[in-house]
Structure 1
Amino acid sequence: MVTTIDIARDNPNAKTIASTGASHLVGEEKPTLIGLSREELGEALGTIGVPQKQWRMRSSQLWHWLYVRGVSNFADMTNIAKDLRAKLDEAFTIARPKIVSEQISVDGTRKWLFQFPPRGAGNPVEVETVYIPEEGRGTLCVSSQVGCTLTCTFCHTGTQKLVRNLTSEEILSQILIARDRLGDFPDAHTPQGAIVPSEGRLVTNIVMMGMGEPLYNFENVKKALLIASDGDGLSLSKRRITLSTSGVVPEIFRTGDEIGCMLAISLHAVRDEDRDILVPINKKWNIKELLDACRNYPGLSNAKRITFEYVMLKDINDSNEDALELVRLLKGIPAKINLIPFNPWPGSQYACSDWERIEEFADIVNRAGYASPIRTPRGRDIFAACGQLKSTSERMRKKDRDALNAKKAAVY
């Protein structure tokens, strides 16, 4: 029996929490230590006079405080000498970015709007991150870019032009703040009334399925996910980290080889003429090229299946013939198919398939031997559901950025 939560878009019970005074924008005047590798941490320590023979030990201390204890203030690093803490504080930052808003859905889903420095965009930029609590697990949907270049026609994020890539620090910061707000670090407290897993860690899974195409920001995503999966830090299993791509074929093998995480493919159509419209990157790498890359994904097995995401669009891609063709295309690929009821957004041209149609589609795929769960829509009342994330950030025109930079230079 399939169950679903269908929440009205403007539900008055959706809870919004404004940003608190404790949050503040990370300044660009001091470099951050978050997102650096151990080797880079050692080199950073060298710039403030720490002898090279101490780099490894000191880097391990910092790593523990940043990713195991979750501190955001050097003063809390109690096993580091006060004079060194003072030097670190003078030269670097580990502060969290600004939380612009936090919204809590009636189903327990949380959505944060984070603000990061301009870093070439002219103005500060904002991204959305979503936490989805379920029985026994808590999934964090993380963004990799501000905006997106792919213009997938069913996706709200695709209506926002790309502003810039997120850095490894900014990707990791989404995880760190989520754990802060949920009380998921040692000695922290979970907010009263929060809907979270009943035991164990509260953020158990990471999905790179937020704003942007992760494989168009490969190096920063790779660096962040390797830190997130480091056994001496955040220690998230690579089996609990899933990267979703719309089909950047040249980077798919590298994802498995260099990151080693689980892979999800935003497929959404079974014929090139349809996918060219829904997922325009298909014009560059078509379905055959995409599926060939999937067949060669490192470590692919029944224990490490690829997830194919398939948004259900009424009278577009939801016929029985589409289901049968999907089964044919995926033959020989260890896979599961996530069927995603379309989540509407203002101005969208599509409608969600009827529930009976989705169930019949799922039955055909199931009978062929593929798991095909129907994803329960979550957080619709706060626009946190799949395909609904977007911010208002825009990249300033070059002449405006140049004028702003000149004004700042004159001040200093």
Structure 2
Amino acid sequence: MHDILGDLGLLRDRRFALLLTARTISVLGSAFAPVALAFGILDLPGATASTLSVVLTAEAVPMIAFTLVGGVIADRLPRQRVMTAGEVLMAAAFFALAVMLLTGWTPLPALATAAAIAGVATAVTFPALTGIIPEVVPRDRLQSGNALLGLGANASRVAGAVLGGATVVLFGGGWALMISSALFAVAGALIALLRLKPGERPRAESHSVLADLRDGWREFSSRQWIWVVVAQFSLMVMAIQAGHGVLGPLMAKETLGGPAAWSAFLTGEAVGTIVGVLVSLRVRPRRPILVAVLLCLPTALPYVLLGVDAPLWAIVGGAFVLGVCFDVFGVLWQTTMQREIPAEALSRVSSYDVLGSLMFGPIGLLLAGPAAALFGTEESLLGCAVIVVVSTLAALLSPGVRNLRAPVAPAQADLK
């Protein structure tokens, strides 16, 4: 097992502490959004599940469309500046959504436009975040750095799920989205203070955007373990977007008690991610991608429980399992990417990862509302669980997924 106290020494590094604080606050802003946006939209006069699908799709499509450009930008420009711009753009988008809900002026095109701006901001920010971590964290501490960043993010998700749900219940979705906007603005200000020493990242030669994208694709497609898992996640995310974005909140409104019940679900998931951080700090599997993919199988559990009308406590328990598994998966995946991909191409490869993983997400969002109307909410949730399991089993057929080994560190006790 690994020395956790030694890993906590990263917190004494000013740059890592600054990145950790900014990331934690940003995720807190994001954690307010799911409950606030879902029930803020569903409570509008005449709104249906399809209305929510349109708004969430409007956010997801630009996020996918701009992801590759975001990767090129993050490999060309100082990543802390790219992240700052993304946080500020996110603050503006959620401020606009909050104002619309608070004033009652909520035409669907305006809601969709603000959501689209948030999608662009995410596309700009995430590839830069993946690339900036190895610039701040020593190579032999990457898994620990990713885990500690995950700890802060997951603590924010717990707090955000609880506080966001309470804010929606007591004051409405508009005020919860206003808090999100303020938190994104604070995170952007903190990221702006991050200064990396000149020369820490190799300067790439000047190329066209298309040439940069081709180089990134070459790095991405030459590694079987990456493209197989990304293909797996393209299907899983389609199911998860449908389940988390539309079907789950709809089920909560129909049979579980509304925003408070869905907030409990998200809180259970968030608590699970904190436990997942503790697991990811301790284990160092020799075959990290194999372990990561195996951990995707239990993530179907909450959709099964929702689909069979299980009691709320059991559904929250299923969400907890999902949180544990996805957090360990995320740490192992990010760490392996950062170790295996050259630093100068990392954001572009990350952007292909995001693009491939999310490309069917809008389909899940668009089909969720009609599927609930046609087949029933419970049956549609069970369909989501089937997609998760089948796509994961298919990924396990890949030799690249099963055989990739982590580098051996003499001081590290590996999990054989």
**For the superposition of Structure 1 and Structure 2, which TM-score range results when normalised by the shorter chain?**
under 0.3
Whichever of the two has the greater Rg, that structure is 1
Q: Which structure has more strand as a fraction of its residues?
A: 1
Q: TM-score w.r.t. structure 2 length?
A: 0.24
Relative contact order (alpha carbons < 8 A, sep ≥ 6): 1 or 2 greater?
2
